[in-house]
Amino acid sequence: MSAGKVEGEQRTNTVVGDYVLVRSRRRSVGLEVRPDATLVVRVPVRAPLTLVDAVLLEKSAWIAEKLQQARNRNLSLPRHDFLTGERFPYLGCDHPFVVAAFQDRPLVFDEQTGFTLDMAVFDRGEQLFESWYRTRARELLTERVRLYAPRVGVPIPRLRITGAERRWGSCSATGTVSFAWRLIMAPTDVIDYVVVHELAHVRQMNHSPAFWAVVAAVMPDYAQRKRWLKEHGPSLTI
Ligand SMILES: [Zn+2]
């Protein structure tokens, strides 16, 4: 699937490097560093490029610092040490995590108290979480694919859960749809967007206007779900 990008003109400047220039009806220049370390510069419709260059030069220290912070955040993933007090995402919420002694099962989830890991298997935390997430992902995605396939107008496809790190879903030429288990960390409405996206590929193996029309017909508000995934997806990790 494609990632949601800011619509604008891709530009390069010797001071800040690549950035996206967005012209709109506004009076001032606005700078934003997005979580994926993209610099977005918003300017009035008729602002000359010399003005843009001057602002970028003036704010270059601030921009450099924000870009570095965003890159560091993305590099520092994964972010868990499996210590009591950490939080783990599941269906769009960050749940508390504790390590405790003498548990019946290695890893337990409870809606009220969150995740509990048995101290005896502390060193297998990552593996146990992945296995738990994979199981939940298979259960929920099986259900959501069955729900949405008729709405998209395709037969219920074969489903695979993958360890993909850079794509949330894919659809093969034979019509098998695949989803990354990490997707189970996202809110349900965002999971549903990825489901509809991949099912729509069974009908349209591209990102043409016809493809997006299929998605929009089933899910008119897909753009905001797509945006959520673009902005928060990098933090969905063990
Ligand atoms: Zn796609």
Question: Each residue of 123-153: pLDDT tens digit?
Answer: 899 999 999 999 999 999 999 999 999 999 9
> Across all residues in the chain, what is the average pLDDT?
92
Arithmetic mean of pLDDT, 207-221: 97
Domain that holds residue 112: 87-123
> How many whole angstroms from 103 Cα to the centroid of ligand 1?
42
Residues 50 and 117 in one domain: no
Residues 202 and 148 in one domain: yes
Residues 137 and 112 in one domain: no
Residues 63 and 92 in one domain: no
Q: What is the CATH number of the domain that holds 145?
A: 3.30.2010.10
Place 15 in a pLDDT band, splitting at 50, 70 and 90. Answer: confident
> How many whole angstroms from 52 Cα to the centroid of ligand 1?
34
> How many whole angstroms from 208 Cα to the centroid of ligand 1?
10
Residues 148 and 69 in one domain: no
> How many whole angstroms from 92 Cα to the centroid of ligand 1?
22
How would you class 10 by CB atoms within 10 Å of its CB: exposed for 0-12, middle for 13-18, buried for 19 or more?
A: exposed
> How many whole angstroms from 168 Cα to the centroid of ligand 1?
9
> How many whole angstroms from 118 Cα to the centroid of ligand 1?
39
Residues 149 and 197 in one domain: yes
Task: State the number of CA atoms in the 13 A half-sphere of 186 facing the CB.
Answer: 26
Question: Each residue of 196-210: pLDDT tens digit?
Answer: 999 999 999 999 999
Inside any domain, residue 215: yes
Inside any domain, residue 3: no
Is-contact 178 172, C-beta < 8 A? yes
> How many whole angstroms from 30 Cα to the centroid of ligand 1?
31
Amino acid identity, residue 114? G
Percentage of residues of the chain with pLDDT beyond 90? 76
Inside any domain, residue 80: no
Estimate the crossing angle of helix 209-218 against helix 125-152, to 10 degrees: 90
Q: Which two tokens stand for residue 179?
A: 């989803």
State the Cα–Cα distance between residues 215 and 225, nearest whole angstrom: 12
Q: What sign has the CA pseudo-torsion 13, 15, 19, 24? A: negative
> How many whole angstroms from 198 Cα to the centroid of ligand 1?
6
Residues 14 and 68 in one domain: yes
